[in-house]
Amino acid sequence: MQAGRLEPGPVFLQQLALLPDRLPAHGSADYVHLLVEGGKLAMADREAWYGDAADVPLDALLSGPYNAGRRALVGDTASRELRPGSPGGRTPRLSAHAHALAVAARSRSRSRSRSGSGQGPGAAGEPYAPGAGEPTVATDGSTRGDTCHIDVVDRWGNMVAATPSGGWLQSNPVVPELGFPLGTRLQMAWLDPGLPNTLTPGRRPRTTLSPSLALRDGVPVMAFGTPGGDHQDQWQLHFFLAVTHGGLDLQEAVDAPNWHHDAFPGSFHPRGMRPGSLTVESRTDPAVIAALRRRGHDVTVAGPWSEGRLCAVARDPRTGILSAAADPRGAQGYAVGR
Which residues belong to the active site? Answer: 147
In our burial notation (b when 16+ CB lie closer than 10 A, e otherwise), range 101-137 reads bbebbbebbeebeeeeeebebebbbbebeeebbbbbb
**In angstroms, rounded to a whole number, what is the distance separating the alpha carbons of residues 54 and 87?**
15
Nearest to 85 by CA among 96, 98, 71, 97: 71
Q: Which residues on neighbouring strands pair with residue 326, listed in sequence order?
A: 311
Q: What are the Cα distances from residue 197, in Å, to 97, 172, 204, 214, 282?
A: 13, 18, 8, 27, 36
